[in-house]
Amino acid sequence: MLLLKNIIFKHRNGASTFEINVPKLQFKAGVINAILGKNGSGKTSILHIIGGHIICEQGSIYLFDKDITNEGAKDRQTATVFQTISLFPH
């Protein structure tokens, strides 16, 4: 199980600010889970937060009841598979 609690991430770009606020998001093990939303709504940013590539300003991330919030990306045992294969030319 993967659990995100009280996640807040703010991205500032000049005068504008984009904020992700996730009070609670839970993914159960053994089932297919999906994050749906409009373009620019923060779906990829949430995946980067889970993977440890973006550090959230507040909140906690639990993977199988272990707090991984402060672990580095290489220690989280998570992976991101991008949808577009053209990102990896061969």
**Cα 21 to Cα 34: distance, rounded to the nearest angstrom:** 18
| pLDDT (tens digit per residue) in 12-51 | 888 888 899 999 999 999 999 999 999 888 998 999 999 9
Burial of 90 by CB count in 10 Å (0-12 exposed, 13-18 middle, 19+ buried)?
exposed
Confidence of residue 88 (pLDDT cuts 50, 70, 90): low
Question: Which string of DSSP letters, residue by residue, matches the chain?
Answer: -EEEEEEEEEEEETTEEEEEEEEEEEE-TTS-------TTSSHHHHHHHHHTSS--SEEEEEETTEE-TTS-GGGS------S-GGGS--
- Percentage of the chain exceeding pLDDT 70: 90
